[in-house]
């Protein structure tokens, strides 16, 4: 089954079209990498799917529930319960600074899923352990490195048992050393068949970890296909140009 289905999605700010008639789906258990130049609409696409931005037209379905149907949003209750099936990891973490690491991971479980405190704590500790943060449960976000913060935010998203985890440039705020740390976590999740959509500038990572890749430029899907094939042998001229420019800058 498709976890996310997007049909003819468009988003404009006034006259500026940032997403233009995009259609694609995310299949259960796959990792989809979204690549493309800065300002191409990749992040906006993720933000539209998670309802942080409102789309102008199109249809979005999450696990079969249409949250946006031909440009019309579902009612608040439907929207809320469908959106809970999505987890989003931000570029700049957005941890809650006044909560300990543990509470960052338990709070939504308790408030939103109405889990008991003991159960939430257990879930959180297991996830933190998995993220290599077992000793950091009582620390505060300001005491962590960027890579650790991002791992907490992944644990925070996973704690709500999402059907799909969306990453919005999860390593762009990190230096290369810490980037590897996060990519390893995503790689491990991929091995567990977690469904993921990763907006990224890490081409090597996209090639190795993603099942499929999608290149977005100027708000449209330029090319889509198996990740390795798309990155190694792009068919489209624009994809070629983008990847060439990219490999040049990463060699600098």
Residues of the shown chain interacting with another protein in the complex, contacts defined by CB under 8 A: 50-52, 80, 83-84, 86-88, 90, 92, 94-98, 107-108, 111-113, 140-142, 153, 156-157, 160
| DSSP symbol at 99 | S
User: Smallest distance, Å, CB 219 to another protein?
Assistant: 21
Please report, for residues 1, 17, 205, the alpha-carbon distance to residue 184 in angstroms, rounded to integers and kept in the order given: 27, 35, 10
User: Smallest distance, Å, CB 110 to another protein?
Assistant: 10
User: Smallest distance, Å, CB 213 to another protein?
Assistant: 24
Q: Which is nearer to another protein, 140 or 246 (CB)?
A: 140
Contact at 8 Å (CB) between 123 and 159?
Answer: yes
Q: Which is nearer to another protein, 68 or 222 (CB)?
A: 68
Q: Which is nearer to another protein, 52 or 220 (CB)?
A: 52
User: Smallest distance, Å, CB 153 to another protein?
Assistant: 8
Contact at 8 Å (CB) between 201 and 169?
Answer: yes
User: Smallest distance, Å, CB 100 to another protein?
Assistant: 9
Q: Which is nearer to another protein, 84 or 241 (CB)?
A: 84
Give the C-alpha separation, 147 to 167, whole Å. 14
Q: Which is nearer to another protein, 81 or 233 (CB)?
A: 81
Give the C-alpha separation, 20 to 55, whole Å. 10
Could you give the count of Cα atoms lying within 13 Å of 152 in the half-sphere of its Cβ?
A: 32
Q: Which is nearer to another protein, 162 or 219 (CB)?
A: 162
Write out the DSSP string of 202-222.
-HHHHHHH-SEEEEEETTEEE
User: Smallest distance, Å, CB 81 to another protein?
Assistant: 9
The 3-state DSSP composition of the chain as helix, strand, coil percent (nearest 5) reads 40, 25, 30
Pairing between β-strand 220-226 and β-strand 65-69 as defined by DSSP bridges:
unpaired
């Amino acid at each position: 089954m498709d976890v996310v289905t997007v049909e003819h999605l468009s988003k404009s700010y006034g006259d500026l079209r940032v997403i233009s008639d995009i259609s694609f789906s995310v299949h259960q258990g796959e990792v989809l990498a979204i690549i493309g130049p800065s300002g191409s609409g990749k992040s906006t696409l993720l933000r539209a799917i998670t309802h942080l931005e409102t789309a102008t037209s199109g249809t979005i379905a999450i696990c079969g529930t249409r949250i946006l149907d031909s440009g019309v949003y579902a009612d608040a209750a439907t929207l809320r319960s469908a959106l809970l099936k999505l987890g989003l990891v931000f570029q700049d973490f957005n941890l809650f600074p006044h909560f300990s690491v543990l509470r960052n991971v338990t709070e939504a479980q308790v408030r939103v899923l109405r889990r008991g405190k003991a159960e939430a704590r257990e879930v959180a500790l297991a996830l933190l352990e998995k993220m290599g943060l077992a000793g950091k449960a009582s620390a505060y976000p300001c005491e962590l490195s960027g890579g650790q913060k991002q791992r907490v935010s992944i644990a925070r998203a996973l704690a709500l048992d999402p059907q799909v985890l969306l990453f919005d440039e999860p390593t762009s705020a990190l230096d290369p050393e810490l980037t590897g740390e996060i990519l390893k976590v995503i790689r491990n999740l991929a091995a567990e068949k977690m469904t993921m959509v990763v907006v990224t500038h890490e081409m090597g990572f996209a090639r190795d970890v993603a099942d499929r890749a999608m290149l977005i430029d100027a708000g449209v899907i330029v090319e889509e296909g198996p990740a390795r094939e798309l990155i190694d042998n792009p068919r489209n001229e624009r994809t070629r140009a983008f990847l060439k420019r990219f490999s040049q800058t990463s060699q600098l």
